[in-house]
């Protein structure tokens, strides 16, 4: 079978986030070929994407070997053939044999049947991108590590901060929870449709990508009463805040298992101080505030650095009350508790 190498690489790249780092589940570190689709599964996410030219291929190949071999070949076209328990790939003068497990042990049946596809709100991915940095990384409270998607609202909280995004249309189906780590991967795909199953949510993009993820059981806490700030003063961030955040990002923890990268913001005596820290070092930068009211502000809070940076395309002000700081824009609100003793 002759195959365009770039098209195969594109397919593998699409499903790569569904691979497991370690094979705790059989074939979870493999690409499974099911006729006209390639599939990955890691118990939390399963992704499939259409492939052309491999209609008669059914089995699993270790992802690392296949992915890295294709990346190192220069041929635009490759030839793929099957010999007993091997897949032979010929690329120019290079030839490689990869172990091929003809029996699929990957438990993709757990994903369940996909029901009727329904259209997602057009701003669904915008809501996910804005909200997932506000989720907790504390697994002792799993509900707070998730986004709560309920009708026309997407919500998140780590008990220290809360965000709520109001979608222009309702998300079809009942309310559900998906982990922030899953949402972060989902945002990389231009999904347009959703189908909810038993313990799984399925999403589909126009290019044929199907992204399935486990949903989390639990009741999300009521947050509405905490979002309204009735009294407060307006604070304007210094113009060079974004540049300082880019420098602070060097010293934030990037690994997802260690939580969302954060920065601490402190205002006191006419200065705003940004600080961050990771295992390699620490960062601090002082910025002058200009307004008369801004110079009197005194507060400290910690926030996802990506979230705060993204705010500067939307707004440059916040509202400070006695116990919380509020941000808001069209269709969304976000509040952060002021650290006690630092008001």
Banded pLDDT at 218 (limits 50, 70, 90): very high
Banded pLDDT at 13 (limits 50, 70, 90): very high
Mark whether 316 and 281 lie in a shared domain: yes
Count of the separate structural domains present in the chain:
3
Structure tokens at 201: 């949510």
Give the span between the Cα atoms of 209 and 50, in whole angstroms.
Answer: 7
Give the span between the Cα atoms of 195 and 337, in whole angstroms.
Answer: 36
Banded pLDDT at 304 (limits 50, 70, 90): confident
Share of residues in the chain with pLDDT > 90 (%): 61
pLDDT digits (tens, 9 = 90+) for 226-255: 888 878 888 999 989 999 999 999 998 764
- Domain end: 64, 95, 111, which one? 111
Give 160's DSSP letter: S
Predicted local confidence at residue 342, as pLDDT: 46
Q: What is the residue-wise DSSP string for 135-157?
A: S---TTSGGGGEEEEETTEEEEE
Mark whether 6 and 99 lie in a shared domain: yes
pLDDT digits (tens, 9 = 90+) for 91-139: 888 899 999 999 999 998 889 888 899 999 999 999 999 999 889 888 8
Helix ranges, the chain (H) = 5-15, 63-72, 124-131, 180-186, 224-227, 241-248, 292-296, 305-311
Looking at the DSSP bridge assignments, the partners of residue 37 are 50
CATH number for the domain that contains residue 125: 3.10.150.10
**Taking the model in full, what pTM does it have?**
0.85
Helix (H, G, I), strand (E, B) or coil at 259: coil
Instruction: Provide the residue range defining the domain that includes 23.
Output: 2-111
Indicate the length of the chain as a whole number: 343
Q: Dihedral sign, CA of 208, 214, 219, 224?
A: negative
pLDDT digits (tens, 9 = 90+) for 49-96: 998 877 778 899 999 999 999 999 888 899 988 888 899 999 888 899
For residue 35, pLDDT beyond 90? no
Q: Whose CA is closest to 265, among 279, 285, 290, 250?
A: 285
- Domain end: 201, 225, 249, which one? 225
Mark whether 220 and 284 lie in a shared domain: no
Rg of the chain on CA atoms, in Å: 24
């Amino acid at each position: 079978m002759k195959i365009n190498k770039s098209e195969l690489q594109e397919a593998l790249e699409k499903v790569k986030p569904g691979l497991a780092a370690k094979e705790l589940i059989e074939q979870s570190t493999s690409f499974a070929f099911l006729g006209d689709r390639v599939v990955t599964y890691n118990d939390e996410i399963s992704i499939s994407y259409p492939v052309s030219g491999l209609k008669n291929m059914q089995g699993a190949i270790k992802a690392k070997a296949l992915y890295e071999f294709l990346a190192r070949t220069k041929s635009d076209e490759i030839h793929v053939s099957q010999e007993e328990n091997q897949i032979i790939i010929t690329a120019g003068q290079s030839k490689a044999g990869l172990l091929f497990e003809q029996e699929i042990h990957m438990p993709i049946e757990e994903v369940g049947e996909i029901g009727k596809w329904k259209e997602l709100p057009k701003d669904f991915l915008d809501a996910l991108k804005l909200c997932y940095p506000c989720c907790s990384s504390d697994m002792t409270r799993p509900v707070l590590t998730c986004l709560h998607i309920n009708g026309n609202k997407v919500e998140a909280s780590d008990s220290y901060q809360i965000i709520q995004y109001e979608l222009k249309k309702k998300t079809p189906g009942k309310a559900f929870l998906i982990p922030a780590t899953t949402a972060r991967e989902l945002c990389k795909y231009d999904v347009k449709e959703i189908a909810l199953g038993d313990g799984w949510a399925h999403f589909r993009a126009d290019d044929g990508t199907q992204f399935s993820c486990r949903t989390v059981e639990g009741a999300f806490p009521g947050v509405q009463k905490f979002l309204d700030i009735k009294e407060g003063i307006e604070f304007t961030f210094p113009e060079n805040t974004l540049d300082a955040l880019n420098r602070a990002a060097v010293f934030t923890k990037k690994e997802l298992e260690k939580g969302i990268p954060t920065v601490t913001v402190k205002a006191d005596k006419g200065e705003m101080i940004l600080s961050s820290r990771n295992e390699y070092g620490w960062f601090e930068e002082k910025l002058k505030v200009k307004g008369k009211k801004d110079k009197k502000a005194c507060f400290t809070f910690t926030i996802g650095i990506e979230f705060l940076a993204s705010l500067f395309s939307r707004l440059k002000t916040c509202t400070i009350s006695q116990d919380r700081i509020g941000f808001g824009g069209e269709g969304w609100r976000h509040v952060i508790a002021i650290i006690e003793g630092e008001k």
